[in-house]
A and B are shown apart, each in its own frame.
Chain A
Amino acid sequence: MIEIRDINKTFGDRQVVKNVSFVFKPGQTNLIIGEIGCGKTTIVKLMVGLHQIDSGEILFDGANFNSLGSGEKQEIRTQIGMLFQGGALFDSQTLEENVRFPLDMFTKLNRAEKTDRVNFCLQRVKLEGKNKLFPAELSGGMKKRAALARAISNNPKYLFCDEPNSGLDPKTSIIIDDLIQDITREYNITTVVVTHDMNSVIEIGDNIMFVHKGENWWTGDKSEIFKATNPELIDFVFASEFIKKVFKEHNS
């Protein structure tokens, strides 16, 4: 479980995160949703330590991340897997080397065990047999899946996904969403997904935080979001004419 309590972040004279609190539950896909520029990616970067919070607390299973020593922080980081928006695969390494990288750095597995784990992870994201390809040879969807394979290779306790289906077609987006949800439930991972894609909200939103202007504006799950009365959330959710129409038909 990850808990954030009253976190704040200011860049220059602009406060981008204001007193945000939320509990991200294990075994669930926890979504941070909101418009572009509302501060959701910043919240994730604060949680993983890429930015420092100005005030507040970030607790990983009760341990306050910001008050930990560098060794303990590193220990937590080895339990984090992250899927970046662009994949962030290492260009100079093959798919196999990318997925094996966390195992090389942090485990004492022998070569055969590492190869088994790499093959298992690639199979899990439906990329079996692509071991020797370089990132430049992969499509956008394959890159995301490869990045997901790398993120889960070291059995993380916490998985962060930043816009996992941006730039993907609807079918591939659903494949990625399903993979994230399956992996989360199968290994009881605390998964945090940043998205503005309503399909993802409907598909995998177990526990949702809606962020507006850097603040936690609404929390709930996918069944509650369509009943919400919060005007900013309604604006966001029903921005698409298609969803408006489907919702109207469903209600009538």
Chain B
Amino acid sequence: MYRVFARPQKFSIYFRQIIFEIDNIGISSLTIVAIISVFMGGVIAIQSAFSFTSPLVPLYAVGLTVRDSIILEFSPTIVCLILAGKVGSNIASEIGAMRISEQIDALEIMGINSASYLIFPKIVAALLIFPFLIALSMFLGIAGGYVLGVLSGSCTAYEYVFGIQAFFEPWKLYYSFTKVLVFAFLITSVSSYCGYHTEGGALEVGKSSTTAVVYSSILILLFGLILTNLFLT
């Protein structure tokens, strides 16, 4: 890890790499994040309307439930778990393939700190782009709940909009984005570590990729629990 955070050898090259990784890690994940968020928002809206059978529960609770579910858990945790699968396997297989094809050796022989050159830009890019992805996910999830909730007749537009504004506490966003930053670091560092230490051939690259996803997912759930405990109790 100390090699990853060693002083960059040439800032302009690292800056270029960070921009490249923002595109590779973040922009290319926009579609999957958007699709999942819209549908999940819709499903939460319909399911919560279906569950609120008591006349004592007002229908604006649908909007409130969608908002809190999306902000507190779905966008920061579930979307990050999905990104661990997409981004984590991509990073581990990319670096693993570079390892077995001697590209990392080539960097070392040139006198380049390969750990820093390959991993540092990925971590920085993820820390920068993940909050934007998750913010987008929150927006689309709540919008998806509105569209599908209203279209399915689960609640009215007025009730939904009232619900998503009711009892809003801004610190929930602070908690949520703290989780996102921790998860972004975990996904990129764990996946890079698995890829960087690949030994063997194509089969081992596949194994590294799987290991990266499994470990990242477990750590996301573990740190999710720890952070929830710290923030919410």
Q: By the criterion CB–CB under 8 Å, are B111 and A74 in contact?
A: yes
- Cβ of A48: which chain B residues have Cβ within 8 Å of it? 109
Q: By the criterion CB–CB under 8 Å, are B110 and A104 in contact?
A: no
Interface readout for A58-90 with B: 1 if CB under 8 Å, 0 if not?
Answer: 000000000000000111111010101110111
- Cβ of A49: which chain B residues have Cβ within 8 Å of it? 108-109
- Pick the interface stretch among B33-41, B97-105, B153-161: B97-105
- Cβ of B111: which chain A residues have Cβ within 8 Å of it? 73-78, 80, 106
CB of B13 within 8 A of chain A?
Answer: yes
Q: By the criterion CB–CB under 8 Å, are A78 and B103 in contact?
A: no
- Cβ of A56: which chain B residues have Cβ within 8 Å of it? none
- Cβ of A75: which chain B residues have Cβ within 8 Å of it? 111
- Cβ of A82: which chain B residues have Cβ within 8 Å of it? 106, 109
- CB-nearest residue of chain B to A77: B111
CB distance from A190 to the nearest CB of B (A): 15
- Taking a contact as CB atoms closer than 8 A, the residue among B9, B103, B109, B112 that contacts A50 in the complex is B109
- Cβ of B106: which chain A residues have Cβ within 8 Å of it? 82, 84, 88, 90
- Cβ of A89: which chain B residues have Cβ within 8 Å of it? 103
- Known contacts A105-B9, A105-B13; A91 and B109 CB within 8 A of each other: no
CB of A102 within 8 A of chain B?
Answer: yes
- Known contacts A86-B101, A86-B102, A88-B101; A104 and B109 CB within 8 A of each other: no
Q: By the criterion CB–CB under 8 Å, are B110 and A102 in contact?
A: yes
CB distance from A39 to the nearest CB of B (A): 18
- Cβ of B10: which chain A residues have Cβ within 8 Å of it? 104-105
How far apart are the CA atoms of A101 and B109 in the complex, in Å?
13
Q: By the criterion CB–CB under 8 Å, are B101 and A50 in contact?
A: no
Interface readout for B9-36 with A: 1 if CB under 8 Å, 0 if not?
Answer: 1100100000000000000000000000
- Cβ of A78: which chain B residues have Cβ within 8 Å of it? 110-111
- Cβ of A101: which chain B residues have Cβ within 8 Å of it? 110
Question: Among A75, A76, A88, A106, which residue has the most Cβ atoms of chain B within 10 A?
Answer: A88
- Cβ of B13: which chain A residues have Cβ within 8 Å of it? 104-105
Q: By the criterion CB–CB under 8 Å, are B109 and A77 in contact?
A: yes
- Cβ of B103: which chain A residues have Cβ within 8 Å of it? 88-91
- CB-nearest residue of chain A to B12: A104
- Cβ of A84: which chain B residues have Cβ within 8 Å of it? 102, 105-106
- CB-nearest residue of chain B to A101: B110
Interface readout for B77-114 with A: 1 if CB under 8 Å, 0 if not?
Answer: 00000000000000000000110011101101111100
CB distance from B148 to the nearest CB of A (A): 40
CB distance from B197 to the nearest CB of A (A): 15
How far apart are the CA atoms of A5 and B42 in the complex, in Å?
72
- Cβ of B110: which chain A residues have Cβ within 8 Å of it? 77-78, 80, 101-102, 105-106
- Taking a contact as CB atoms closer than 8 A, the residue among A50, A104, A106 that contacts B105 in the complex is A50
How far apart are the CA atoms of A78 and B108 in the complex, in Å?
10
- Cβ of B101: which chain A residues have Cβ within 8 Å of it? 86, 88, 91
- Cβ of A80: which chain B residues have Cβ within 8 Å of it? 109-111
Q: Which of B103-140 contact A (CB under 8 A)?
A: 103, 105-106, 108-112
How far apart are the CA atoms of A89 and B102 in the complex, in Å?
9
Q: By the criterion CB–CB under 8 Å, are B112 and A105 in contact?
A: yes
- Cβ of B9: which chain A residues have Cβ within 8 Å of it? 105
Q: By the criterion CB–CB under 8 Å, are A88 and B112 in contact?
A: no
- Cβ of A91: which chain B residues have Cβ within 8 Å of it? 97-98, 101, 103
- Cβ of B105: which chain A residues have Cβ within 8 Å of it? 50, 84, 88
CB distance from A150 to the nearest CB of B (A): 8
Measured CB to CB, the residues of B under 8 A from A are 9-10, 13, 97-98, 101-103, 105-106, 108-112
Interface CB pairs A-B, < 8 A, 17: A75-B111, A77-B111, A80-B109, A80-B111, A82-B109, A84-B105, A84-B106, A88-B102, A88-B105, A89-B103, A90-B98, A90-B106, A101-B110, A105-B9, A105-B10, A105-B110, A160-B109
